[in-house]
Amino acid sequence: MKDGRAFRVVLCTAGSEEEGARIAKSLVEQKLCACVNLAPGVRSFYRWEGAVQDDAEVLLIIKTTQEKLQALSDHLAEIHGYDVPEVLAIAVDQGSASYLEWLAESCAD
């Protein structure tokens, strides 16, 4: 295992698999992340404009570096269909050395 403090897992939801795939492809193409997993079948309950909402969504699990995090967040704000897209970054404590090396290389300019 290797120290993973330079890496982040970002959670984001999208309203459909098509939108999730469009976002994922854009993030990877722009080298803002190494990988995005799409997890369909998420059901979200939240308050929006004073009412409780119940929606089907897709969860994007995005692997990136701390260095790319702000640019990733800015890009999501530009291309996402939601007024307030979810962008939650979770710090990575440790990971396999080979995976973290691949992640860093995949995000490098």
CATH number at 2-107: 3.30.70.120
Residue 89's pLDDT band (cuts 50, 70, 90): very high
- Write out pLDDT tens, residues 7-62: 999 999 999 999 999 999 999 999 999 999 999 999 999 999 999 999 999 999 99
Q: Quickly tell me which residue has 């939650």 as its tokens.
A: 88
pLDDT recorded at residue 98 = 97
- 8 Å CB contact between 43 and 56: yes
57 — alpha (psi -120 to 50), left (phi > 0) or beta?
beta
